[in-house]
Amino acid sequence: MFNHFKIIIILCVIIYGIGISSTSLLQNTTLGYDTETRIDRDHVYFKNMDFQSMAITISSHGEYEYTLVSIPSMSDDQESPNSNTIIADSYNQSITLTEYPVPEGSRPHDVAPATSMSFVNSNVSKNLFKDIVWYTAQSSGELGKLNTTTGETLHIFLGEGSAPHGVIAGPDGAPWITDGGLNAIVRVDPFTKNVTVYPLPQGVGYANLNTATFDNNGTLWFTGQSGIYGRLFPSTGAMEIFDAPKGPGPYGITTTPNGSVYYASLAGNYVGLVDTKTGQVTVLEPPTPDQGSRRVWSDSNGNIWVSEWNAGQLGMYDSQKDQWKEWKLPGGNPKPYAVYVDTNDKVWISDFGSNSIFRFDPLDESFDKFDIPSPEANVRQILGIEDEIWGAESGTDYLLVINTNDSPVAD
């Protein structure tokens, strides 16, 4: 009888331990996120970035959802996703473009599927986030979360004065945000909704923070259009800021498969290769002068693809050959903004000029065009996962997704 009682007690302890470990899945990672700092919503954040925060201990899922603005599940009279099916593309496949409505006034700037992280820590399961897409609600100072299965959204308040620009999914499973209003890097815990703020060092001034990327060592690199780039070591919270060559301009940023970091300078008209050890930059200038290199993305071979805003062109830098190629986008007045390379090395570009998304095939150097249903969508960023290409319509209150895995069209 006593042995049976001991067995029951041991089983209860084991079950309790499993529950605690699952709740803390992302609280203790190899990057050192073992504590959270919390924004005091009643604190006023001035331009001198006098932040007020305190350490807390996670005790439950709901206790610290203080910033959460929950959007109810869609009722019959709410908007549902809009779908348009393109008859066929050049590969004889049906391509579906869907727009998801987000709360009015969000004006989403950047978007990141929660499973789009380039690599993950060993204790992070992508299955936990497979239906989640993050977006920055720049107008409302919030991080948005879309459930693609239900269409339901919720918003997380980031702090007074927040104006979030970029968002990416980190190797810890959390969304990381470059917040121009807070002049800080922000992390949101995907389970507890706790907000951690990493303000830029005093004396840096307003950086106009834009985008970020993780290198292969787990260091976060970011750009500021005022003329800086920097890195954050998440395990310690240490941050280092560098003055960019040619001053203002750093905008898009990307990491190659081998861990190299490149950024684009819109005002400087160059692409910068960052030495991730020293932080120094090698300036790479595209052939077209004053081209306005805006965003960058790496393909699987380490080639760097560039949206050339001023020139209306797509550029590509071959790092192995140290050579450039450029292609003019179709149309009378192309304005390429965002660029992204998918898992099949197809290049996707958003074009303000034609209100469309282009897909470029490097093998035959051909463009496919996909018109966006909503007028003046102004897609400022593209990011995807396998078979899905996501864009944020900053000119509307929609996110869009292009599904590229539909069945071939019958002849």
In a domain, 410, yes or no: no
Q: Examine the pLDDT at 63 and tell me if it is beyond 50.
A: no
User: What is the domain range of residue 83?
Assistant: 2-403
Domain count across the chain: 1
In a domain, 408, yes or no: no
In a domain, 40, yes or no: yes
In a domain, 248, yes or no: yes
In a domain, 231, yes or no: yes
Write down the pLDDT at residue 23: 34
Entry pTM: 0.80
Tokens 């107008």 locate to 139
Q: What is the pLDDT of residues 182-220, one digit of tens each?
A: 999 999 999 999 999 999 999 999 999 999 999 999 999
CATH of the domain at 35: 2.130.10.10
In a domain, 56, yes or no: yes
Bridge partners, residue 386, by sequence: none
Q: What is the pLDDT of residues 234-273, one digit of tens each?
A: 999 999 999 999 999 999 999 999 999 999 999 999 999 9
φ and ψ at residue 4, rounded to 5 degrees? -60, -40
